[in-house]
């Protein structure tokens, strides 16, 4: 991989997650505090992205896999989506914000899968010539050497995949850094002056970054659809992958685990305050998860994956979540609770990103975008939608006299993720 390609793909990941990180963590405070929307209205605004991820990525994957170059499609939807966010930043009613955020989410959702597709396709393309030459030299002088034989093709494919496993986490980590920088940038912006409430600064920043991403996409490597696809409907081929047992197990466990992840996203800030951490310190404390994600992607996953394979890498990811939830359920000492936050970053790295790498390794090359779309449709879409509702029900059930009973609340996802870990280790073969 050349330095130019590494830079191109790294900036793409940085901007993609900076757009998301600019508005997603803090929009709720604007909706509830400044606009005085109800909790139900706020939850509906936040539900726009999961709803979009159930449908939109499949259309995006179909377009990129069959009709239009990936970088061109990313440019189009990012620029248009950015304009929609800029308009939404000045709207103050629930109806207008819901409709605009739904439109934006329908445009943004496909990009989550396609930036991964862009990453994997171009890393493989860059690695292929060097690997082929390496295999030729390794078999030099062998009279039985046949570059077109199935054994040699498999050797080349395995070596290309090994190169992908080593390089892709070190590029994807820039997405996490983009999320962090967007949050810090917004905080710096707010320090510059008092907010008047005339507009949503997080949506405005997200819109500016999205337009910037769209313009940058024109400088990405040209990634056209395959010349001879196996099926004109790429998403149909992606669904056929569910017939493969390992892939089916991975997708089912992914769905369940994603629902339980909402027990981290929704209540953790309030939980940390309730056990004694000051409100102003909560955002900084929670960045421990992102810091662990950076270390996991840049160091741990590239080092461990070639040694332990996908099964045990994914297992580490699943096990990280009940480890955190059981410590949350203990509730003390506070230092132990804080020290468990990095488990979130490790879990995300070893299950979700390693899982995206696993999907790419088993998906036919002509449906790369649609295979990634299937993952995001099941997790960010259906999993998040079900998870937000399930988490809300459990939190309300264990609320007594206006206070949350955190121990039983966190024992629920703890038990479910333990069951997921056991089922995954028993059923996933490899």
What pLDDT is recorded for position 248?
93
In the block, tokens 């498999």 appear at 154
Residue whose C-alpha is closest to residue 90's, from 207, 8, 235, 185: 207
Domain with CATH 1.20.1250.20 in the chain: 1-225, 228-430
Angle formed at CA 386 by CA 295 and CA 314, multiple of 5 degrees = 35
Name residues of the chain where pLDDT drops below 50: none
Q: Would you say 430 and 309 are in contact if contact means Cβ atoms under 8 Å apart?
A: yes
What tokens does 292 get?
């662990």
Residue whose C-alpha is closest to residue 77's, from 173, 213, 220, 204: 213
Sign of CA dihedral 309, 314, 315, 316: positive
What tokens does 371 get?
């295979």
* Residue 67 neighbours by CB distance under 10 Å: 12
Q: How far is CA 280 from CA 18, 26, 57, 177, in A?
A: 22, 14, 37, 22
Cis ω before 333 (30° cut-off from 0)? yes
- Kindly report each contact of residues 256-259 with a partner whose C-beta sits within 8 Å and lies 24 or more positions away, as own/partner: 256/383, 256/416, 256/420, 257/318, 257/321, 257/351, 257/383, 257/417, 257/420, 258/378, 258/379, 258/380, 258/383, 258/384, 258/387, 259/383, 259/384, 259/386, 259/387, 259/390, 259/391
The strand pairing partners of 400, in sequence order, are 403
Question: Alpha-carbon distance 280 to 24, whole Å?
Answer: 19
What pLDDT is recorded for position 346?
93
113 φ, ψ (degrees, to nearest 5): -80, -40
What pLDDT is recorded for position 58?
66
Q: May I ask the CATH class of domain 228-430?
A: mainly alpha
What pLDDT is recorded for position 100?
96
Query: What does 4-29 look like in DSSP terms, one character per residue?
Result: HHHHHHHHHHHHHHHHHHHHTTTHHH
The strand pairing partners of 404, in sequence order, are 399
Q: Would you say 270 and 404 are in contact if contact means Cβ atoms under 8 Å apart?
A: yes
Quick one: the chain helix, strand, coil %, rounded to 5?
85, 0, 15
Q: For residues 45, 49, 52 and 58, what is the CA-based torsion angle, rounded to 10 degrees?
A: 180
Q: Among the CATH numbers 3.30.565.10, 3.40.50.300, 1.20.1250.20, 3.40.50.620, which is that of 1-225?
A: 1.20.1250.20
What pLDDT is recorded for position 228?
62
Q: Which residues contact 116 (CB under 8 A, 6 or more apart)?
A: 356, 360, 372
Classify each residue of 372-382 as buried b or exposed e, where b means 16 or more C-beta atoms within 10 Å of its C-beta: bbbbbbbbbbb
Question: Alpha-carbon distance 91 to 381, whole Å?
Answer: 25
Q: Would you say 284 and 272 are in contact if contact means Cβ atoms under 8 Å apart?
A: no
The strand pairing partners of 403, in sequence order, are 400
Question: What pTM does this model have?
Answer: 0.77
What tokens does 127 get?
């690695």
Say whether 37 sits in a helix, a strand or coil.
coil
The strand pairing partners of 399, in sequence order, are 404
Name the H helices within 89-223.
94-138, 150-191, 201-216
Q: For residues 80, 83, 88 and 89, what is the CA-based torsion angle, rounded to 10 degrees?
A: 150
What pLDDT is recorded for position 413?
93
Q: Would you say 419 and 252 are in contact if contact means Cβ atoms under 8 Å apart?
A: no
What tokens does 86 get?
């800029």
Say whether 140 sits in a helix, a strand or coil.
coil
What pLDDT is recorded for position 280?
66
């Amino acid at each position: 991989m050349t330095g130019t390609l590494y830079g191109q793909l790294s900036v793409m990941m940085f901007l993609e997650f900076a757009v998301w990180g600019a508005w997603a963590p803090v929009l709720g405070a604007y909706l509830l505090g400044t606009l005085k929307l109800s909790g139900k209205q706020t939850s509906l605004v936040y539900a726009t992205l999961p709803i979009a991820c159930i449908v939109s990525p499949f259309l995006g994957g179909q377009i990129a896999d069959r009709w239009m170059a990936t970088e061109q499609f990313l440019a189009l939807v990012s620029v248009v989506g950015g304009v929609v966010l800029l308009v939404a930043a000045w709207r103050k009613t629930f109806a207008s914000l819901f409709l605009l955020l739904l439109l934006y989410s329908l445009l943004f959702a496909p990009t989550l899968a396609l930036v991964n597709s862009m990453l994997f396709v171009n890393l493989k393309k860059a690695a292929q010539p060097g690997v082929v030459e390496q295999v030729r030299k390794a078999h030099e002088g062998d009279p039985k050497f046949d570059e077109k034989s199935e054994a040699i093709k498999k050797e080349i494919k395995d070596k290309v995949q090994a190169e992908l496993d080593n390089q892709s986490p070190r590029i994807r980590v820039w997405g996490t850094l983009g999320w962090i920088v967007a949050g810090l940038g917004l905080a710096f912006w707010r320090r510059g002056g008092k907010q008047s409430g005339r507009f949503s600064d997080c949506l405005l920043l997200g819109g500016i970054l999205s337009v910037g991403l769209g313009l940058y996409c024109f400088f990405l490597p040209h990634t056209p659809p395959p010349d001879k696809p196996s099926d004109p409907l790429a998403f149909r081929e992606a669904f056929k992958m569910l017939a493969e047992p390992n892939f089916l197990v991975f997708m089912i466990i992914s769905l369940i685990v994603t629902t339980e992840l909402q027990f981290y996203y929704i209540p953790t800030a309030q939980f940390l305050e309730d056990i004694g951490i000051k409100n102003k310190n909560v955002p900084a404390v929670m960045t421990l998860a992102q810091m662990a994600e950076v270390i996991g992607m840049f160091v741990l996953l590239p080092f461990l994956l070639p040694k332990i394979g996908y099964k045990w890498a994914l297992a580490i990811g699943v096990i990280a979540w009940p480890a955190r939830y059981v410590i949350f359920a203990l509730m003390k000492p506070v230092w132990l609770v804080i020290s468990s936050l990095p488990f979130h970053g490790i879990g995300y790295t070893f299950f979700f990103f390693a899982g995206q790498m696993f999907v790419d390794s088993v998906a036919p090359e002509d449906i790369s975008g649609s295979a990634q779309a299937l993952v995001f449709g099941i997790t960010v879409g259906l999993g998040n939608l079900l998870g937000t509702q399930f988490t809300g029900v459990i939190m309300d059930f264990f609320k007594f006299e206006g206070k949350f009973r955190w121990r039983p609340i966190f024992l629920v996802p703890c038990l479910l993720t333990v069951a997921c870990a056991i089922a995954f280790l028993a059923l996933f073969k490899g």
